Amino acid sequence: MSLALANELAASSIRVNTVHPTGVATGMAPMSLHGLLTDGRPDLSPIYQNALPVPLVEARDVSNAVLYLLSDEARHVTGTQLKVDAGVTIR
């Protein structure tokens, strides 16, 4: 959808980008989820782990990605899916 919008709105100089974070340390993550995956379904646990050795990213990491996309430095960036995911999607 974001790519379709980026294509459609580019002629009007409207940029469309998306930010895709991994788990973010916000205080809203249920601690039971980790135990549920590692104890209940150890076969699924590896696909939900970040490639980088961090369990969660910080909210400021996601905010900085958004600020970049809003900045003049990204004035020619459109149709981008910016992953702030500590490598979870490369697994």
Tell me if 65 sits within 8 A of 78, measured CB to CB: no
CA distances from 24 to 5, 9, 62, 74 (A): 27, 30, 8, 24
Q: What is the mean pLDDT of the chain?
A: 91
Structural domains of the chain, ranges and CATH numbers in brackets? 2-90 (3.40.50.720)
The CA dihedral of 3, 5, 7, 10, to the nearest 10 degrees, is -130
CA distance 86 to 6: 25
Look up the pTM and report it: 0.82
Confidence of residue 29 (pLDDT cuts 50, 70, 90): low
